[in-house]
Amino acid sequence: MALEIEKLLLTIIGKVSNDIRSLAEAPKGYDESDRTGYLEIFPEYREGLEGIEAGQTIMVLFWLHESPRDILKVHPRGNEENPMRGVFSTRSPVRPNPIGVSELEVLNIEGTRLQVRGLDVLHNTPIVDIKMKI
């Protein structure tokens, strides 16, 4: 089964706006974060947001654009005291396809701007998908 390259190209649907400006100050995971901020979805995707409401938990997929893609083992949580493990057995942002998955609480919606709680990614991180949490 051949896959054409253009079919594997991600489309950015929006960007994060928050006050996390460095990895050092980023929470290690959404489950450890109470940081709020905004998902600024581009207007052309407005229709796709219909049905999302304040109070819901959504699953958001980010493209972690500053993560290296060529490393297969890491010290979990970036702590050298933790023995090295394969990236696929961790939540490290380092991985061949640096997609981050966070579950966020929707606080408010203004058009295509979603205020959310639980952010663990940097300001300006590209957003590639939103799904309802199962």
Sites of contact with a copy of itself (CB under 8 A): 1, 3, 5, 7-13, 29-31, 45, 47-52, 56, 58-59, 61, 63, 65, 69, 72-73, 84-91, 95-97, 99, 101, 124, 126, 128-132, 134
- Residue 67 CB, shortest distance to a copy of itself, in Å, is 11
How many Å from the N-terminal Cα to the C-terminal Cα in the chain?
31
User: Residue 36 or residue 112: which is nearer to a copy of itself going by CB?
Assistant: 112
- Which two structure tokens, joined as six digits, stand for 22? 């460095």
CA dihedral 26, 48, 58, 18 (to 10 degrees): 20
d(CA 107, CA 103): 13
Q: Which CB atom, from 36 or from 103, has the smaller least distance to a copy of itself?
A: 103
Shortest gap between Cβ of 133 and a copy of itself (angstroms)? 9
Cα gap 109→115, rounded to integer Å: 6
